[in-house]
A and B are shown apart, each in its own frame.
Chain A
Amino acid sequence: MIFCASLAGAGLGFLWFNSYPAQVFMGDVGALAIGAAIGVLAVIVRQELVVLVMSGVFVLETASVILQVASYKLTGRRLFRMAPIHHHFELKGWAEPKVIVRFWIISLLLVLAGLATLKLR
């Protein structure tokens, strides 16, 4: 709990500088560590499936890469203009901040949906 709160604070502090246009990127050091933290927290609170819903943006990004590679290897055709899927929307002409904020909105909805499943039982 305190760890989550600390990570949230650190994340907001990082976003202050990382928001578009970024002054700094997190690098693998940040991305791998944060992902592992989310994963282990999901295991500890015993809600793996709910966390997968809440982290839907990460799941979809990963699925887009897997589908793209599978489709290209099997049929020789690409499903998306580029994977991970955020590049697909950029190449369709969406401005980068627009992609980002729209993904945030999706993320927010998924988190609310995930929270709702904890009550609807």
Chain B
Amino acid sequence: MLYWITQQFVGHIGGLHVFSYLTFRAILATASALGLSLLVGPSLIRHLVRGQIGQVVRDDGPPTHLLKAGTPTMGGTMILVTTLVSTLLWAEPANRLVWTVLGVTFAFGLIGFYDDYLKLVVRDPKGLVPRWKYFWQSVAGLATAATLYYTATEPAETTLFLPFFKTFHAPLSAFGFIVISYLMIVGMSNAVNLTDGLDGLAISS
């Protein structure tokens, strides 16, 4: 948004052209998302604690983890909201990939939110039944893969590249591209979810 606004005044007000630089906006995007998180974090945590949105710790996990019962969860909403605000502020609105990435991130966020909601607010310890969780993940994953394939403007966007082999490139069929993309998106999503078991492990790996 700010990118668009500043572009209207380039040439009229000196110095605004720095907003054209991707690296400059990237630094501002990191800073604004970080600043916003630090700003809203404490009140969000207070709010979650008061709402008793505490994590249900697996009762078959390591004994030391039983002490963690009561730590509020769903802090991921803060990550999503600050990322959204910061992206909207600094990204170039005409870039379709920005909207694709935001869309898929929020679709999976919504699935996770519903799962957390069932566990914590409705107090159903099973949460979203795994079958349905995978079903919705697959819907979102396939939709994204298809969108990426059919909105691609250059053949390079749907070609398979390998590390170390500079000359290797295999143009992918619609089926091949969608299968690989689907596996990447849904696979990584579940992988991060499994890793999210120790404080600060998932977010920084």
Contact = CB atoms under 8 A, between A and B. Distances in A.
Given A19-B200, A26-B202, A33-B80, A61 B112 contact: no
Contact of B108 (A36, A41, A61): A36
Interface string A60-101: 011001000000000000000010101100110000110110
A49 B105 CA distance: 21
Nearest to B157: A46
Given A22-B200, A58-B188, A43 B75 contact: no
Contacts, number: 337
B4 interface: no
A65 B25 CA distance: 40
Interface of B: 22, 25-27, 29-38, 41-42, 44-45, 48, 55, 61-62, 64, 68, 71-80, 82-84, 86-87, 90-92, 97-98, 100-102, 104-109, 111-113, 115-116, 127, 137, 140-141, 144-145, 148, 156-157, 159-166, 180-181, 184-205
Nearest to A11: B203
Which 7 pairs from chain A and chain B are nearest by CB?
Answer: A30-B76, A13-B37, A9-B33, A35-B192, A28-B112, A35-B189, A33-B109
Interface of A: 1-44, 46-51, 53, 55, 57-59, 61-62, 65, 82, 84, 86-87, 90-91, 96-97, 99-100, 103-104, 107, 117-118, 120-121
Contacts of B55: 25, 27
Contacts of B141: 36
B91 to A, nearest CB: 4
Contact of A9 (B30, B157, B195): B30
8 contacts: A6-B90, A13-B33, A13-B35, A25-B74, A26-B203, A27-B73, A32-B189, A58-B205
Given A9-B86, A29-B116, A117-B163, A86 B195 contact: yes
